């Protein structure tokens, strides 16, 4: 690792310089650094060659620095200290992981996910954040990961599927369909359907061309959706996670028996992929596999 362009100074050379002063001999420096005395001597020689001056006077029993060596020692200690601070700052930044979602987190799996997270990542705080954006907060960099059920049109995001969820119809508890154990897409389409066309998992593509709902009621977030549905003026279709996470008086959920499942993705920014990404992917996939 070069410290500066045009000068072949390496971190291990600086560490060798510090070690021979602190330990007193090349042999003891080698022991402290877990390298041979020959390797220490070779690194000091390379450092002197790179800097173009003698840094160390060697004798059989002791080590003494030249005036240039004293100056180099002070700089070397500052460089190593700055790198230690950099590492500490970077590690501190990974002490919390923010996972965003547009509508619902992981539904019935959320509590188990939080429990397993503490076991798998005991030193990293988990923060689940609702973000009413198509990217689940990734594009405005307020989250590190996003749980998505509808992929945004952005080449800046990478994703991988971790599971699937059944679709449910949300309706007023006084809706005639509320008495049924399950419903069909055709039955749902006899009333207007509330949809969040930015972040929701439901679009008109669910229905055949001749069987679409009479009207789409556009809404902007989960609270608007629940309010419209509770009034009885529209129905809605959503993933099982929403049905589990958002219970509201006056709203009933019934499974849609002929609708395709909703894919569940975990996503992150391509330019800054988070640490432990594969471990997080594996943990999420385990939760969905265990529910099969």
Check residue 114 and give its pLDDT.
95
* Contact of 171 with 129, CB cutoff 8 Å: no
Distance between CA atoms of residues 277 and 73, nearest Å? 39
Rounded average pLDDT over 110-117: 95
Question: 68-83, pLDDT tens digit by residue?
Answer: 988 998 888 888 888 8
- Taking the model in full, what pTM does it have? 0.67
φ/ψ (deg, to 5) at 78:
-70, -40
For helices 26-33 and 37-51, angle between their N-to-C axes, nearest 10 degrees: 100
pLDDT at 259 over 60: yes
Burial category of 125 from C-beta neighbours within 10 Å (exposed 0-12, middle 13-18, buried 19 and up):
exposed
* Contact of 102 with 139, CB cutoff 8 Å: no
- CATH code assigned to 96-158+270-290: 3.40.190
* Contact of 19 with 35, CB cutoff 8 Å: no
Question: 140-164, pLDDT tens digit by residue?
Answer: 888 999 999 999 888 999 999 999 9
φ/ψ (deg, to 5) at 52:
75, 25
Check residue 4 and give its pLDDT.
42
Check residue 1 and give its pLDDT.
39
Check residue 97 and give its pLDDT.
92
pLDDT band at 92 (very low <50, low <70, confident <90, very high): low
Q: Which CATH class is domain 2-91?
A: mainly alpha
- CATH code assigned to 167-260: 3.40.190.10
* Contact of 204 with 212, CB cutoff 8 Å: yes
Q: What are the start and end residues of each CATH 3.40.190.10 domain in the chain?
A: 167-260
Check residue 62 and give its pLDDT.
73
Check residue 7 and give its pLDDT.
56
Question: 5-24, pLDDT tens digit by residue?
Answer: 445 788 889 999 988 888 88
Mean pLDDT of the chain: 89
Neighbour tally for 192: CB within 10 Å: 16
């Amino acid at each position: 690792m070069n410290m500066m362009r045009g000068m072949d100074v390496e971190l291990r050379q600086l560490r060798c310089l510090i070690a021979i002063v602190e330990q007193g001999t090349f042999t003891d420096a080698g022991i402290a650094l877990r390298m041979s005395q020959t390797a220490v001597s070779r690194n000091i020689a390379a450092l002197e060659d790179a800097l173009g001056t003698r840094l160390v006077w060697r004798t059989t029993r002791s080590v003494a620095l030249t005036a240039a060596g004293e100056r180099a020692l002070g700089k070397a200690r500052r460089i190593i200290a700055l790198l230690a601070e950099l590492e500490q700052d970077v590690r501190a930044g990974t002490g919390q992981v923010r996972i965003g979602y547009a509508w619902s987190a992981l539904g019935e799996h959320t509590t188990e996910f939080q429990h397993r997270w503490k076991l798998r990542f005991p030193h990293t705080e988990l923060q689940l954040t609702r973000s009413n954006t198509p990217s689940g907060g990734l594009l405005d960099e307020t989250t590190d990961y996003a749980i998505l059920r509808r992929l945004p049109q952005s080449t800046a995001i990478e994703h991988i599927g971790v599971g699937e969820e059944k679709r449910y119809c949300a309706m007023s508890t006084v809706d005639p369909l509320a008495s049924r154990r399950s419903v069909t897409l055709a039955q749902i389409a006899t009333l207007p359907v509330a949809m969040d066309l930015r972040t929701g998992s439901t679009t008109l593509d669910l229905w055949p061309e001749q069987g679409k709902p009479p009207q789409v009621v556009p809404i902007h977030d989960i609270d608007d959706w629940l309010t419209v549905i509770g009034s009885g003026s529209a129905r809605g279709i959503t993933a099982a996670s929403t049905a589990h996470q958002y219970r509201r008086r006056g709203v009933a959920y019934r499974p849609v028996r002929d609708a395709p499942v909703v894919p569940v993705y975990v996503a992150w920014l391509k330019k800054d992929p988070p640490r432990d990404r594969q471990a997080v992917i594996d943990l999420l996939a385990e939760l969905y596999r265990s529910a099969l």
